[in-house]
Amino acid sequence: MPKIADIQLPDFPLLLAPMEDVSDPPFRALCKEQGADVVYTEFISSEGLIRDAAKSVMKLDIYERERPVGIQIFGANLDSMLQSIEIVEKSNPDIIDINFGCPVKKVVSKGAGAGILKDIDLMVSLTKAMVERTHLPITVKTRLGWDDTSIKIVEVAERLQDVGCKAIAIHGRTRAQMYKGNADWKPIAEVKNNQRMHIPVFGNGDIDTPEAAMRMRDEYGLDGAMIGRASIGYPWFFREVKHFFETGTHAEPPTMEERVEAARRHLQMAIAWKGEKLGVFETRRHYTNYFKGIPHFKEYRMKMVTSDESADVFAAFDEVMERFGDFEFAET
């Protein structure tokens, strides 16, 4: 069973991917409850942390209930990355993850995120310096390469391992692909099959059914699956994958009661974390997904996404339960 440094994980763990504006404490808690074995924060700017930018600092908030939890940081400047480690350590995460995969222009143009895939020596030396600076396990999340002419992920992963990286999660796309085309898991399997690799190799990209997760385990032989988009508004995806692994059958989709309860808890946790106003405002974007597939739902959704008071949103949840309580959701 895979281990990240001393963190023992179950067989073929499911990891919640870091996702900007999605992987916040309430969402991470819901995914954890539904079976995510490791969760990550969204990426946090090392420059933002050392400038003490409130928005970056708030992203460091983690809770006991979600452990093991990784805080993900990004940057390209060695000094800033090292300084930010000291700030991150104060939050006491279980893992510090480095983002070497973000493809967006404003990150890449500074040499951060996937930008570093153009300079593998820098990627390795930065990782090494970070490993040496902290007692916490350093892990890396990256892509296959910069473009399809420069895929050297087998060599890159081995070099990262050799400088002390404790696990690697690989999104099966290049930077040039952004999110287009299909994720290719074959090069990730090649990383795993490298006889010299002994750290966990987690696969990422396009796991959108329990069957896909099973293929990643059985056909590609990876150590675990990192799941992103399939979990957005659907934290039950983790339990559905686990159910499928255990029984070979599909779990029943979550009932209306479970969905209302998840929405309610999401809002409660968001308010507890960032206060009534922001909590109400920033949880709005999740409701559509929680209640997807219900006909004639618009009136209720509008109430949820336009009310400024949490009491009104909670009342809308009650109404939904009353009106649609016995609605049967189709399997996703």
Ligand X SMILES: Cc1cc2nc3c(=O)[nH]c(=O)nc-3n(C[C@H](O)[C@H](O)[C@H](O)COP(=O)(O)O)c2cc1C
Binding site for ligand X (CB under 6 A): 17-20, 22, 42-43, 72, 99, 101-102, 141, 171, 204-207, 227-230
Minimum CB distance to ligand X smaller for 99 or for 127: 99
Minimum CB separation from ligand X for residue 65, in Å?
A: 21
Minimum CB distance to ligand X smaller for 237 or for 317: 237
Minimum CB distance to ligand X smaller for 227 or for 280: 227
Minimum CB separation from ligand X for residue 174, in Å?
A: 13
165 annotated active-site: no
Give the list of residues 6+ apart from residue 64 with CB closer than 8 angstroms, or none: none
Rounded Cα distance, 171 and 188, in Å: 8
Return binding residues: 72, 141, 171, 228-229
Minimum CB separation from ligand X for residue 30, in Å?
A: 16
Contact status, residue 124 vs residue 137, Cβ threshold 8 Å: no
Minimum CB separation from ligand X for residue 155, in Å?
A: 21
Minimum CB distance to ligand X smaller for 2 or for 70: 70
> Of 102, 176, 207, 271, which one is the catalytic site residue?
102
Return binding residues for FMN: 72, 141, 171, 228-229
Give the active site residues.
102
